[in-house]
Structures are given as C-alpha cells and as structure tokens.
Structure 1
Amino acid sequence: MSSELETYKPILERIRWDQNGLVPVIAQDAVSGTVLMFAWMNHEALAKTIELKRAVYFSRSRKKLWFKGEESGHVQHVKSLRMDCDQDVLLLQVEQVGGIACHTGRNSCFFEAYDWQAHTWFVDAPVLKNPDDIYDTK
C-alpha cells in the first residue's frame, strides 16, 4: 500500500468494496439536490478525492483514475462525503463547476424519464453545451 493510501487506511477499511475493489458513487449537487451522475471509485480514487476535495473516479473502461473535468474543465468540488448504512455506496455532494456533469452536455446524466402512460422513455433535460465543444472529438 502506498504511503498516500496508508494515510487513509482507517477510512478505506470502513467501506465494503466489491470483488473488483470498487465502490459505487453517486454525485449530487450540494445546493439543488439534483443527482448528477453515478460512477465508481477504487481505493486510490477515494484517497485522492479526500486529499484534493475534488471528485476523482475510477474509469472501468480505461482502467485508470479519472479526475472529473480533466478534459471538459467541469470539475466537481466535494462539499460532503457520505456512506450508506451498508457501507457499500458513497454519496458525494458537490459543487459542479460549469454546470455540466454529463458527457452529453447536460446538467445530469439522468436526463431520460419513463412515461408511465405511454410506456416509453423520453428526454426531459436540454443539452446545455454541445459535447463537440467540450471534448476534442475531431
């Protein structure tokens, strides 16, 4: 265990990590209460998040740390860190810089809602910024 992780060992040991050494994380706007996104953290991501008071996740697809906003500039400053009663889910209450948490250019990743009458999904949140303007996709 690195010295950085050793510093946070008592905090990390309280969490019930899954078989891959990950814990699910919900990011919520600290002021409005809007659920912004869902992601994963490993031990190192959580230690960095605590150290920097900035959201750092673990990208399962890229298999590396993901400093939220490293490409988009839309960082999340952590205002509160909470753990659920089973100690297997974390809740970050954050200040979302730039107002965009989702890679689709929306405020929240939860922009599709279910219509109980029509039995279909519909988009209920506008794109605030074109993703091509956020990320270097060219």
Structure 2
Amino acid sequence: MSSPSTSLDPAIAARLKRNPDGLVPAIAQQYDTGEVLMLGWMDAEALHRTLTTGRCTYWSRSRREYWAKGDTSGHVQHVRSVALDCDGDTLLVRVDQVGPACHTGTRTCFDEDVLLEG
C-alpha cells in the first residue's frame, strides 16, 4: 500500500490500532436511523481525507488504492460524525447515505444472509 504523507492529528494517529496491513475497520452507519450500512477499511490517510472532505474515503484492498464512496456510483456518503472506539481499533462513521451503500445495489451490505434473528 502506498503511504502518502498525511496531516492527521498525531494524537489520533497514535491511538489507531491497525491490522498488519496498516488498516482499521470503519463501520458506516446511517446517522438518523442507526442502520448499519457497510464496513470499509481506512488507514491514516483515508481517515484524514474523510475528516477533511466530509465524504467517506476508504482503502480498497482489492484495487490497492483510495476510493471515495460514490465516485463511480453516485452513492455518496456524507459524513456527519466520526468516532474511534475505546480500544482504538474500529471507527464508526455516521453518514447520510445517498442511494444504496452496497456494491450489489442494496441499501445495506447486511440484509442478505441473516444468521440469527430474535
């Protein structure tokens, strides 16, 4: 993964607990309903871009490049808030999702295979 210089706040960058690939999972959640939309991956640069542009930017593990959600589909995620969990190993990005969040065209990536419902 290319690692461009970032101006992410050093205190935040220091708290991020990355996996061996330098990534942190980022859960996208619809800000007004609480609906969990998708999971993407961010490094410090993707988080910096997300915080400064107001649009979710992820690291594509398959394409090995940054992508701002909606650049090709138009299904943009407008950032409302970003929180780092207590362990520093997961981000929660509350967004206003335009259109489907899933690449399959569904609203959420978590509506196909429900393993348990109670």
2:72 paired residue number: 71
The 3-state SS of whatever aligns with 2:7 is helix
Structure 1 gaps of 5+ residues are 117-138
Normalised TM-score (structure 2): 0.89
2:39 paired residue number: 38
The 3-state SS of whatever aligns with 1:114 is coil
1:101 paired residue number: 101
Query: 1:10 Cα shift?
Result: 2.6
Query: 1:97 Cα shift?
Result: 1.4
Instruction: Please tell me the residue identity of whatever aligns with 1:32.
Output: T
1:114 aligns with 2:115: yes
Query: 1:19 Cα shift?
Result: 1.5
Higher relative contact order (CA 8 A, sep 6+): 2
Structure 2 gaps of 5+ residues are none
Query: 1:115 Cα shift?
Result: 5.7
* Distance 1:52-1:114 versus aligned 2 partners, 3 A rule: same
Query: 1:85 Cα shift?
Result: 1.2
Moved over 3 A (4+): none
Instruction: Please tell me the residue identity of whatever aligns with 2:92.
Output: L
Whether the 8 Å CA contact 2:83–2:93 is kept in 1: the answer is yes
Number of residue equivalences? 113
1:29 paired residue number: 30
Greater Rg over alpha carbons, structure: 1
Distance in 2 between the 1:28 and 1:10 partners? 24
Query: 1:83 Cα shift?
Result: 1.1
Normalised TM-score (structure 1): 0.76
Deviation per residue, 1:51-96 (Å, 9 max, x gap): 1011000000000001100110011011010111111000000000
Instruction: Please tell me the residue identity of whatever aligns with 2:36.
Output: V
* Distance 1:7-1:34 versus aligned 2 partners, 3 A rule: closer
Identify the structure with the greater helix proportion. Answer: 1
